[in-house]
Chains A and B, each alone.
Chain A
Amino acid sequence: ETGVTQSPTHLIKTRGQQVTLRCSSQSGHNTVSWYQQALGQGPQFIFQYYREEENGRGNFPPRFSGLQFPNYSSELNVNALELDDSALYLCASSYDPVANYGYTFGSGTRLTVV
């Protein structure tokens, strides 16, 4: 079975720009959750997509948005980038929204905002 693939692996953007991060979920998984991991911190929940609809959101502003496609892949978009958006962005897929069997995480996209 394939795992979770994220692209790009690294990205440098300027404050105020927009960025799109991509994620291919594990085969058989219909739910994708996005997490932000700042340096030295644990991952923080951004939002979850289930069957192409947003299915819950953490404490992140509306400039963080997402999409899920019919093949269950997903995008995370961040507008008007701020320096504090610099972090590792992790995509996690699961069999269902509850994910009580655990997530499968990708290796992440390291975003640096300068």
Chain B
Amino acid sequence: AQSVTQPDIHITVSEGASLELRCNYSYGATPYLFWYVQSPGQGLQLLLKYFSGDTLVQGIKGFEAEFKRSQSSFNLRKPSVHWSDAAEYFCAVGSSTSGTYKYIFGTGTRLKVLA
């Protein structure tokens, strides 16, 4: 079955420290992969996406992610975290089953940033 796993429910980092959020997926074909961020009480904002080409993708707000097919991973990174990055982060895979297109989301990682 297609699935997305985000093994870390909560992560706390100090402002200025580096960040890596983990995402593992299960999908038979070449996946479309996404990272979204959700601030409290808000919808989801697209940070970056991958569907072909260079396996290191750059996104908004200084985020990047690397697609590793051998590890079925698409981890999100940022070299220096800002207090405004505190939010919940969701990894998703685009799925097509019997003509139905949808995203399968992980359960999210809540990021706390210490001043």
Contact = CB atoms under 8 A, between A and B. Distances in A.
Which size bracket describes the interface of B in this complex?
A: 20 to 34
Interface of A: 4, 6, 33, 35, 40-45, 48, 55-58, 90, 92, 97-108, 110
A92 B49 CA distance: 16
Interface of B is mostly: strand
A58 B46 contact: no
Interface of B: 4, 32, 34, 36, 41-46, 49, 51, 90, 92, 94, 96, 99-108
A57 B107 contact: no
Nearest to B102: A45
Given A35-B103, A43-B105, A110-B41, 15 more contacts: A33-B102, A40-B107, A42-B92, A43-B44, A43-B103, A48-B102, A57-B100, A90-B43, A98-B96, A98-B101, A99-B94, A100-B49, A102-B46, A107-B42, A108-B42
